[in-house]
């Protein structure tokens, strides 16, 4: 059984977003390449009702809740020419960065604003072991500062 992954948008407001990513597979299956779990280009406008489009170009990570089967880790990245690591998740828990303003997307060249996820098996087991993951990601939409005269 190969890895299967699905992301569901729970909240997509003018500022905040919440997505839930779930997946499962066998630990000794071929590991997938990075998949997009949040893309600001697919989210609603940051200023609905205002003239023109006001899309988010980046996302700031404020809070993560997760439950990861033993034997695998989930790695989250900001997408760019060279992806920038956000964190590595294993086991069960919560990470909350709201107190100091969240984890900003500081990816440099080729930044897309997307958040990517990869699965890494801790051990390529000889027998197939079923694994699963749940990642709830709370982010804040960000856009470049508007120039003005």
Q: Is residue 133 part of a domain?
A: yes
Report pLDDT for 123: 64
Domain of residue 73 covers 4-41+57-142
Q: Is residue 147 part of a domain?
A: no
Q: Is residue 148 part of a domain?
A: no
CATH number at residue 34: 2.60.120
Sign of CA dihedral 57, 40, 67, 80: negative
Q: Is residue 115 part of a domain?
A: yes
Give the DSSP letter string of 85-135.
EEEEE-SEEEEE-GGGT-B-----TT----EEEEEEESS--SS--EEEEEE
Report pLDDT for 101: 93
Q: What are the 10-residue block averages of pLDDT along the chain, 149 residues in total?
A: 82 95 75 84 86 87 95 92 94 95 90 92 67 94 65
Report pLDDT for 148: 46
Say whether pTM exceeds 0.95.
Answer: no
Report pLDDT for 146: 57
The answer to whether 105 touches 58, Cβ cutoff 8 Å, is yes
In the structure encoding, which two tokens stand for residue 87, read together?
């964190």
Q: Is residue 49 part of a domain?
A: no
Number of domains in the chain: 1
Beta bridge partner(s), residue 140: 16, 60
């Amino acid at each position: 059984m190969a890895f299967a992954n699905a992301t569901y948008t729970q909240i997509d407001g003018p500022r905040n977003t919440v997505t839930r990513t779930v997946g499962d597979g066998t630990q000794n299956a071929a590991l997938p390449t990075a998949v997009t779990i949040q893309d600001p280009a697919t989210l609603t406008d940051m200023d609905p009702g205002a003239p023109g489009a006001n899309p988010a170009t980046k996302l700031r990570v404020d809070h993560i809740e997760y439950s990861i089967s033993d034997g695998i880790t989930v790695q989250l990245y900001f997408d760019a020419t060279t992806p920038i690591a956000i964190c590595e998740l294993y086991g069960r828990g919560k990470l909350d960065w709201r107190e100091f303003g969240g984890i900003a997307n500081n990816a440099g060249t080729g930044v897309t604003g997307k958040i990517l996820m990869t699965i890494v098996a801790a051990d390529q087991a000889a027998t197939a072991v079923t694994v699963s993951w749940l990642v709830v990601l709370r982010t804040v939409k960000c856009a470049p500062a508007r120039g003005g005269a």
